[in-house]
């Protein structure tokens, strides 16, 4: 249960904080949790009903913010955990938002483009009651993208009768999207790595699990910086090339063949084998619960970067920390995505758009600051980086909860 894992992380971190009773109580349950059906007329003429979700977890610091996931494994429990993590993440990176998340239980690869559009518009036709530019602002997550955000912003704008770009982020540039948003999750993670390598010495061998938006851009950024990507994987399997992949060729192969292990001359690997490879940086950019108490002892990467949400379980966290691994946790490592979503929202509200360079400069400043604040807590309190990031976030949520004086 992913939500149970999130609660375990919270319990562990609470021991290092002095939260007021109100904060503890407010963090137990989501502010709003909404499950609904989405009927879609499929191409074959039959009606099919999909299950959709939106959870607003905590709004002490501002409107709730977080992506929408399309995946066959999506459940309310998972969406609740992801909404909780968004609450913590937005506080770690210090943007004025609470946390939310949405999803649909579906394998989007099995739908035609027309079906996908109906499904996405259908999600918004139900969720418009809970979302809003100053209430709850969705964005892309696993298997959702700018096109899906575009259909949703159009649907919302039609329902409320006015163009409302600030209701959703991760939009195409033509509809008020921000320059730099498409690769911001990876860029934020990359900035964290650049800070981490100043604190201790690491070599340049990298393994990346997951080759979606976050994983592929991370591979590009690290390869451009002289790192050697020795192994990558996607949902179809893993691939190893000791001398390192050529990023351009790799992305071309993924694009044309739909799988990274079609790369000529590579050795095919299972996900398990890939995770256990000897490397300097292990980037986890796929899904939850991939490093557990079963395989944590076999992880050979020296630095672990969580670009996915929740890839390491609480039990595995303790083992990795004991084994001296340096972890950059999800709530910090992948916060660049939501940070640039915030910049997109600010630009939408101002109706004034920034250059790409300005976006990246502002992102860099945020990542460096909060990475170092987290690192400082980790060193001072002698606690793992995840717990340190929670301590930082909980302090901020606590302050807002106290100041709002909810009765």
Residues 6+ apart with CB under 8 A from 390: 9, 10, 12, 13, 88, 331
Q: Are 302 and 278 in contact (CB under 8 A)?
A: no
The tokens of 303 are what?
A: 């630095």
Q: Greatest CA span in the chain, whole angstroms?
A: 64
Number of residues that bind ligand GLU (CB under 6 A): 12
Whichever of 341 and 348 has its CB closer to ligand GLU, that residue is 341
Q: Could you confirm whether 101 is annotated as catalytic?
A: yes
**Site for ligand GLU contains 341 (CB under 6 A):** yes
Q: Which of 65, 80, 89, 101 is flagged as catalytic?
A: 101
Asked if 386 is part of the footprint of ligand GLU (rule: CB under 6 A), the reply reads no
Least Cβ distance, residue 335 to ligand GLU (angstroms): 7
User: Does residue 102 touch ligand GLU according to CB under 6 A?
Assistant: no
Residue with tokens 């600030």: 166
Rounded Cα gap, residues 166 and 158, in angstroms: 14
Residue 221 contacts residue 186 (beta carbons within 8 Å) = yes
With respect to ligand GLU, which residue has the nearer C-beta, 167 or 269?
167
Q: Which is nearer to ligand GLU, 90 or 274 (CB)?
A: 90
Minimum gap (Å) between residue 131 Cβ and ligand GLU:
12
Residue 164 lies near ligand GLU (rule: CB under 6 A): no
The answer to whether the beta carbons of residues 108 and 116 sit under 8 Å apart is: yes
Give the integer Cα–Cα distance in Å for 264 and 250. Answer: 10
From residue 228, alpha-carbon distances to 142, 206, 244, 328, 386 in Å are 26, 6, 5, 20, 27
Q: Which residue is nearest to ligand GLU (CB)?
A: 67
Enumerate residues 303-332 that contact ligand GLU by CB under 6 A.
309
182 binds ligand GLU (CB under 6 A): no
Determine the interface stretch with ligand GLU among 34-42, 123-131, 219-227, 334-342 (rule: CB under 6 A): 334-342
Interaction of residue 337 with ligand GLU, rule CB under 6 A = yes
HSE, side-chain direction, 13 A CA sphere, residue 191: 24
Phi, psi of 83 (to 5 degrees): -70, -40
Identified binder of ligand GLU from the candidate list 78, 117, 141, 370, rule CB under 6 A:
141
Q: Are strands 98-105 and 237-240 parallel, antiparallel or unpaired?
A: unpaired
**Is residue 78 a contact point for ligand GLU (CB under 6 A)?**
no
Regarding 338 and contact with ligand GLU (CB under 6 A), the answer is yes
Our finding on whether 210 is near ligand GLU (CB under 6 A) is no
Structure tokens at 314: 């609480």
Which residues are known catalytic residues? 101
Catalog residues that contact ligand GLU under the rule CB under 6 A. Answer: 65-67, 139, 141, 169-170, 309, 334, 337-338, 341
């Amino acid at each position: 249960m992913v939500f149970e894992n999130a609660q375990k992380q919270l319990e562990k971190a609470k021991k290092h904080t002095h939260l007021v009773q109100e904060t503890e109580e407010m963090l137990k349950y989501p502010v709003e949790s909404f499950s609904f059906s989405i009927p879609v007329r499929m191409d074959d003429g039959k009606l099919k009903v999909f299950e959709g979700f939106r959870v607003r977890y905590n709004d002490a610091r501002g409107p709730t913010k977080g992506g929408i996931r399309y995946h066959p494994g999506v459940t309310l429990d998972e969406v609740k955990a992801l909404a909780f993590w968004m609450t913590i993440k937005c506080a770690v990176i210090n943007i004025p938002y609470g946390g939310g998340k949405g999803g649909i239980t579906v394998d989007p690869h099995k739908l035609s483009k027309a079906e996908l559009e109906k499904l996405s518009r259908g999600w918004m036709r139900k969720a418009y009651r809970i979302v809003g530019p100053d209430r709850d602002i969705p964005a892309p997550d696993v298997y959702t993208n700018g096109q899906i955000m575009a259909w949703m912003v159009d649907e919302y704008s039609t329902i409320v009768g006015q163009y409302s770009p600030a209701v959703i982020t991760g939009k195409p540039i033509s509809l008020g999207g921000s320059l730099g948003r498409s690769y911001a999750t990876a860029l934020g993670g990359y900035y964290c790595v650049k800070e981490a390598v100043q604190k201790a010495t690491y070599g340049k061998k990298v393994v990346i699990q997951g080759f979606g938006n976050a994983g592929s851009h991370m591979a590009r950024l690290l390869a451009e910086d002289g790192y050697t990507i020795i192994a990558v994987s996607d949902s179809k399997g893993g691939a190893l090339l000791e001398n390192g992949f050529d990023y351009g060729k790799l992305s071309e192969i993924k694009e044309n063949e739909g799988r990274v292990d079609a790369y000529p001359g590579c050795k095919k690997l299972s996900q398990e084998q890939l995770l256990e490879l000897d490397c300097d940086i292990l980037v986890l950019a796929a899904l939850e619960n991939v490093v557990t108490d079963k395989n944590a002892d076999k992880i050979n990467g020296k630095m672990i970067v969580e670009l996915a949400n929740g890839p390491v379980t609480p039990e595995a966290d303790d083992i990795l920390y004991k084994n001296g691994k340096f972890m950059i946790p999800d709530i910090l490592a992948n916060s660049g995505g939501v940070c640039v979503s915030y910049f997109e929202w600010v630009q939408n509200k101002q109706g004034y758009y920034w250059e790409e360079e300005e976006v990246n400069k502002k992102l860099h400043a945020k990542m460096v600051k909060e990475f170092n604040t987290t690192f400082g807590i980790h060193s001072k309190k002698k606690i793992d980086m995840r717990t340190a990031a929670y301590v930082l976030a909980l302090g901020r949520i606590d302050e807002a909860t106290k100041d709002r004086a909810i009765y």
